[in-house]
A and B are shown apart, each in its own frame.
Chain A
Amino acid sequence: DSGVTQTPKHLITATGQRVTLRCSPRSGDLSVYWYQQSLDQGLQFLIQYYNGEERAKGNILERFSAQQFPDLHSELNLSSLELGDSALYFCASSPGGGTLDNEQFFGPGTRLTVL
């Protein structure tokens, strides 16, 4: 168990809908990262938050947004869902925000299926 929790574990929804994925980092970790894992795109970095502030942005669509709250949990909001958004969404956390040796601890993931 990495100490990172993600809810829900599975999510099935329809095209055009909006969903929210939730992540609680390990105790004491200030950084939260979101990744998308799909068969065609592999593991892709979406966005990073550090202590409530957006730190880095990757291949995140405009339909997607995220935030980190004062208690450090994070939410990833996906809207106007398309079939291609079906994927495993991981949250990861690390103690710091920019040092290279910070391994990232991954949550169990949320499997999103868009029908």
Chain B
Amino acid sequence: AQKITQTQPGMFVQEKEAVTLDCTYDTSDQSYGLFWYKQPSSGEMIFLIYQGSYDEQNATEGRYSLNFQKARKSANLVISASQLGDSAMYFCAMSASNTGNQFYFGTGTSLTVIP
């Protein structure tokens, strides 16, 4: 079975600072994908970044980067230069080859950016 763990229910960061949101995963599969989604208070789920299990480089998308440490089974999201609009829930998710493309989500981290 696949499992995603996000241990930070809530985080605060000063505007313009960087913040790291933690995500660890558990799977016996060798092929899997890791995703981060943002859910603002309006409720929609916004895709941020993807990392494949065989990717050697950490993924980056603008101000978002994924710190992928395969041996530790962690896939932390780093947001640089935080903005007020980054305040939202952030979910880590995983898909694995032996369970098709369904996503397993963590419980989320609520990020608040302080002006």
Contact = CB atoms under 8 A, between A and B. Distances in A.
Interface of A: 2, 31, 33, 35, 42-45, 48, 55-56, 58, 88, 90, 92, 94, 96-109, 111
Q: Quick one: which of A44, A45, A92 has the most chain B CB within 10 A?
A: A45
Nearest to B47: A103
A33 B102 CA distance: 8
Given A100-B52, A104-B47, A48 B100 contact: yes
Given A31-B101, A33-B102, A56-B102, A43 B91 contact: yes
Given A43-B91, A100-B32, A103-B35, A94 B44 contact: no
Contacts of A96: 101
Interface string B89-115: 001010111011111111110000000
A58 B91 contact: no
Interface of B: 31-33, 35, 37, 43-47, 50, 52-53, 91, 93, 95-97, 99-108
A33 B33 contact: no
B33 A106 contact: no
Given A42-B107, A43-B91, A101 B44 contact: no
Contacts of A44: 105
A35 B44 CA distance: 13
A31 B103 CA distance: 13
Question: Which 8 residue pairs across A and B have the least CB separation, nearest first?
Answer: A106-B45, A100-B33, A43-B105, A56-B100, A45-B102, A103-B47, A56-B102, A108-B44
Contacts of B101: 31, 33, 48, 55-56, 94, 96-100, 102, 104
Contacts of A102: 95, 101
Contacts of B46: 2, 106
A40 to B, nearest CB: 11
